[in-house]
Amino acid sequence: MSDQKKYQRYERQVILKNFGIQAQDKLFYAKILVIGAGGLGCPALQYLSAAGVGKIGIVDFDVVELTNLQRQTLYTVNDIGKPKAITAAEKLKLFNPETQYLVYQTKIEPKNALEIIEEYDLVIDGSDNFATRYLVNDACVLLHKPLVYGAILRYEGQVGVFNMPDKNSGYTANYRDLFPLPSNPATVPSCNEAGVLGVLPAIIGGFQAAEAIKICTGIGEPLCNKILSCNVLNNSFYEFNISPSKESSSYIPSTKEAFKNYNYEWFCSPGNPVNEITPAEFDDLRKREQLIIIDVREEDELPLVNEFRYTQIPLSRFKEAALEISTENKIVVFCKSGKRSVTAVNALLKKYPNIVAYSLKGGIDNWKMYEHSNLKNSSPIQL
Amino acid sequence: MEINVLAFGQVADITGKTSWKVPLVKTTNELNQQLIKSYPQLQSTTYLIAVNKKIIQESVELNTDDTVALLPPFSGG
């Protein structure tokens, strides 16, 4: 490709003062991993792809749902039920075929995280749960990779850059310096439960893409060791400066081996008294006895379940409806990710202390993944 | 002799406001205890404390017109 043609598409940023061909060339060689192709991931991916980033990795195991479309703008109604990561990559390939896309249709876990992240210069965290956030943070600390953090809820969002020294102090901070240990998940609402304004992730995900571009090209001042908080209701921005602390870094697994054996799911649900069963245990129990299986997801949530019979009682109506549940059989409650089912089991146990009730660990997503695990391949698909 | 308090996310849900003033107290610990007394739900909520935008790990002294911000973790993406 002639030089003129190579830069033509990016002309509007190449002509920028302090950007130029030099910064564009850096983007051509940049390798960025986006974890989560959801609310934050969609806008970040679109702008990184549009900017001409050379290689983009996309990690997501989830499928597109109708309720995602309000904010996850890479997907259409025709994509409902399709896996997000590959669907996103196919769309991006149309927007910018010059970028190489690597699709990891898998859950990021201690056993695969280091291997995946190692391939990239920088990571964007667009995940939607604390277990993944702590896992990604710790992996990036161990591998010395800059991490562009972003998180959202309702009308508020946060963005920041970890593991990257700022110009003045030279030190690096990370998520553990903000919140060394996870809080009780019951006290922190998720977007599924608390809602989120559709345009908010576009603002925060856009910020994350901007930070990633700044870091890869070396322009401007990235939000190193800072968290920028934004509230779209009153247009307020507030900056927090983070100092690294010895105590918080002591919580990070000290070696790669220790990291691989760290149970982030358990770590992020401390003091959880609810009995959880794994997908394997659940399948075994279903074979052996008659169970009452309850789905506490809201109506229309995906994936659809037609492998076994169950009753649907959305968590929002659980308190009234649960009174009618027969308690003679063992009860297994599931939701999407295994969080709301814990709340439901707790509510059941409060009402009927003598019943045997379990929460399906990792939710129906985890069960589906277990069921299909023989067909799955953890190496990336290249587009 | 006052200090400014800013609340974010779930902390603002509990306090019912995002920004207000309180009479000056000596330390962040003392302020936190007062806040928990006024809003008992804060006791079971995780949040970090920043004084004049700097996140603190241990209690620090407060001065008049300082701004204390209370930021809870967000997990949504």
Tell me the shortest Cα–Cα distance from A88 to chain B, in angstroms: 16
Of A26, A27, A45, A47, which Cα lies nearest the Cα of A35?
A45
Q: Which chain B residues contact residue A40 at CB under 8 A?
A: 77
Q: Where a domain ends, among A204, A239, A268?
A: A268
What is the model's pLDDT at position A323?
Answer: 58
pLDDT band, very low/low/confident/very high, at B56 (cuts 50, 70, 90): very high
Write out residues 33-72 of B within 8 Å (CB-CB) of A: 44-46, 48, 50, 53-55, 57, 69, 71-72
Q: Which helix (H) or strand (E) holds A332?
A: strand A330-334
- What amino acid occupies position A29? Y
pLDDT band, very low/low/confident/very high, at B41 (cuts 50, 70, 90): very high
Whole-angstrom Cα distance, residue A12 to residue A14?
6
Task: Kindly give the pairing relationship between strand A226-231 and strand A156-162.
Answer: antiparallel
CATH of the domain at A98: 3.40.50.720
What is the model's pLDDT at position A3?
Answer: 76
Residue among A151, A182, A236 minimizing CB distance to B74:
A151
Tell me the shortest Cα–Cα distance from A325 to chain B, in angstroms: 31
- Residue pLDDT, tens place only, A94-142: 999 999 999 999 999 999 999 999 999 999 999 999 999 999 999 999 9
Q: State whether A264 and A281 are in the same domain.
A: no
Mean pLDDT for the stretch of residues A319-338:
80
pLDDT band, very low/low/confident/very high, at A154 (cuts 50, 70, 90): very high
CATH of the domain at A366: 3.40.250.10
Share of residues in chain A with pLDDT > 70 (%): 94
Tell me the shortest Cα–Cα distance from B38 to chain A, in angstroms: 18
On average, the pLDDT of chain A sits at 91
What is the model's pLDDT at position A212?
Answer: 98
Which residues are within 8 A (CB) of A268 and not within 5 positions of it... i.e. 6 or more apart? A129, A130, A131, A134, A182, A185
Specify whether the CB–CB gap between A343 and A315 falls below 8 A: yes
Q: State whether A216 and A306 are in the same domain.
A: no
What is the model's pLDDT at position A210?
Answer: 98
Q: Cα-Cα-Cα-Cα dihedral of B18, B22, B26, B30, to 10°?
A: -60
Whole-angstrom Cα distance, residue A52 to residue A215?
14
Q: State whether A188 and A294 are in the same domain.
A: no
Q: Where a domain ends, among A220, A243, A268?
A: A268
Catalytic residue among A191, A224, A230, A268: A191
Query: Whole-prediction pTM value?
Result: 0.80
Is 60 exceeded by the pLDDT of residue A271?
Answer: no
Q: Do A177 and B55 touch (CB under 8 A)?
A: yes
Q: Do B71 and A184 touch (CB under 8 A)?
A: no
Write out residues 234-273 of A within 8 Å (CB-CB) of B: 234, 236, 238-243, 245, 247-248
- What amino acid occupies position A97? P
What is the model's pLDDT at position A322?
Answer: 58
Q: Which chain B residues contact residue A240 at CB under 8 A?
A: 48, 50, 53-55, 69, 71
pLDDT band, very low/low/confident/very high, at A378 (cuts 50, 70, 90): low
What are the tokens at A275?
Answer: 């009995």
The conformation of residue A316, written as its DSSP 8-state character, comes to G
What is the model's pLDDT at position A183?
Answer: 77
Specify whether the CB–CB gap between A292 and A325 falls below 8 A: yes
Q: Do A178 and B55 touch (CB under 8 A)?
A: yes
Q: How far is CA A166 from CA A198, A227, A239, A312, B54, in A?
A: 32, 13, 15, 51, 15
Q: State whether A139 and A159 are in the same domain.
A: yes
Share of residues in chain B with pLDDT > 70 (%): 100
CATH of the domain at B43: 3.10.20.30
pLDDT band, very low/low/confident/very high, at A55 (cuts 50, 70, 90): very high
Q: Where a domain ends, among A268, A298, A318?
A: A268
pLDDT band, very low/low/confident/very high, at A78 (cuts 50, 70, 90): very high
Is 90 exceeded by the pLDDT of residue A85?
Answer: yes
Q: State whether A259 and A299 are in the same domain.
A: no
**Is B77 within a domain?**
no
What is the model's pLDDT at position A377?
Answer: 53
Mean pLDDT for the stretch of residues B32-54:
95
Q: Which chain B residues contact residue A128 at CB under 8 A?
A: 75-77
- What amino acid occupies position A93? K
The conformation of residue A255, written as its DSSP 8-state character, comes to S
Alpha carbon A345 to its chain centroid, in Å, reads 25
Alpha carbon A353 to its chain centroid, in Å, reads 35
Q: Which chain B residues contact residue A187 at CB under 8 A?
A: 10, 44-46
Q: Which helix (H) or strand (E) holds A35?
A: strand A31-35
Range name among A2-11, A23-32, A82-91 with the lowest pLDDT average = A2-11
Total number of domains constituting chain B:
1
- Kindly report the number of other CB atoms within 10 A of residue B39's CB atom: 15
**Is A108 within a domain?**
yes
The conformation of residue B33, written as its DSSP 8-state character, comes to H
Catalytic residue among A42, A224, A268, A335: A335
Specify whether the CB–CB gap between A361 and A333 falls below 8 A: no
Say yes or no: A191 contacts chain B, CB-CB below 8 A: yes
A344-354 burial code (b ≥16 CB/10 A, e <16): bbbbbbeeeee
Which residues are within 8 A (CB) of A209 and not within 5 positions of it... i.e. 6 or more apart? A43, A44, A46, A47, A48, A51, A124
Q: State whether A255 and A352 are in the same domain.
A: no
Interface residue of A148, A171, A178, A187 to substitute, partner B, most B CBs within 10 Å: A187
**Is B76 within a domain?**
no
Alpha carbon A235 to its chain centroid, in Å, reads 26
Q: Which chain B residues contact residue A39 at CB under 8 A?
A: 76-77
What is the model's pLDDT at position B65?
Answer: 97
pLDDT band, very low/low/confident/very high, at A265 (cuts 50, 70, 90): confident
Interface residue of A183, A239, A249, A336 to substitute, partner B, most B CBs within 10 Å: A183
Higher-confidence residue: A245 or A192? A245
Q: Do B71 and A227 touch (CB under 8 A)?
A: yes
Of A265, A264, A243, A255, which Cα lies nearest the Cα of A141?
A255
Q: Do B50 and A196 touch (CB under 8 A)?
A: no
Whole-angstrom Cα distance, residue A11 to residue A4?
10
Q: State whether A230 and A106 are in the same domain.
A: yes
Mean pLDDT for the stretch of residues B37-46:
93
Q: Do B77 and A158 touch (CB under 8 A)?
A: no
What is the model's pLDDT at position B44?
Answer: 87
pLDDT band, very low/low/confident/very high, at A270 (cuts 50, 70, 90): low
Specify whether the CB–CB gap between A155 and A144 falls below 8 A: no
Q: Which chain A residues contact residue B54 at CB under 8 A?
A: 240-241, 243
- Kindly report the number of other CB atoms within 10 A of residue A366's CB atom: 21
Q: Which chain B residues contact residue A151 at CB under 8 A?
A: 73-77
- Residue pLDDT, tens place only, A222-243: 999 999 999 999 999 999 999 9
Which residues are within 8 A (CB) of A158 and not within 5 positions of it... i.e. 6 or more apart? A149, A150, A151, A152, A204, A227, A228, A229, A230, B71, B74
State the burial class of residue A184 (Cβ atoms within 10 Å of its Cβ: 0-12, 13-18, 19+).
middle
**Is A383 within a domain?**
no
Mean pLDDT for the stretch of residues A7-34:
97
**Is A123 within a domain?**
yes
Specify whether the CB–CB gap between A12 and A22 falls below 8 A: no
Q: Do A188 and B50 touch (CB under 8 A)?
A: no
Q: State whether A32 and A48 are in the same domain.
A: yes
- Kindly report the number of other CB atoms within 10 A of residue A239's CB atom: 13
Of A44, A359, A9, A12, which Cα lies nearest the Cα of A201?
A44
Q: State whether A72 and A138 are in the same domain.
A: yes
Beta bridge partners of A333: A294, A359
What is the model's pLDDT at position A29?
Answer: 98
Q: State whether A249 and A283 are in the same domain.
A: no
Q: Catalytic site residue A191?
A: yes
Chain A, nearest residue to B47 by Cα? A179
Is 80 exceeded by the pLDDT of residue A187?
Answer: no
Mean pLDDT for the stretch of residues A283-304:
90
On average, the pLDDT of chain B sits at 95
Q: Catalytic site residue A268?
A: no
**Is A377 within a domain?**
no
Higher-confidence residue: A344 or A328? A344
Q: State whether A291 and A248 are in the same domain.
A: no
Mean pLDDT for the stretch of residues A325-343:
87
Specify whether the CB–CB gap between A146 and A214 falls below 8 A: no
Q: Which domain holds residue A30?
A: 3-268
Q: Cα-Cα-Cα-Cα dihedral of B77, A24, A121, A129, to 10°?
A: 0
Whole-angstrom Cα distance, residue A207 to residue A209?
5
**Is A378 within a domain?**
no
Q: State whether A204 and A301 are in the same domain.
A: no
Is 60 exceeded by the pLDDT of residue A375?
Answer: no
Total number of domains constituting chain A:
2
Q: Do B77 and A36 touch (CB under 8 A)?
A: yes
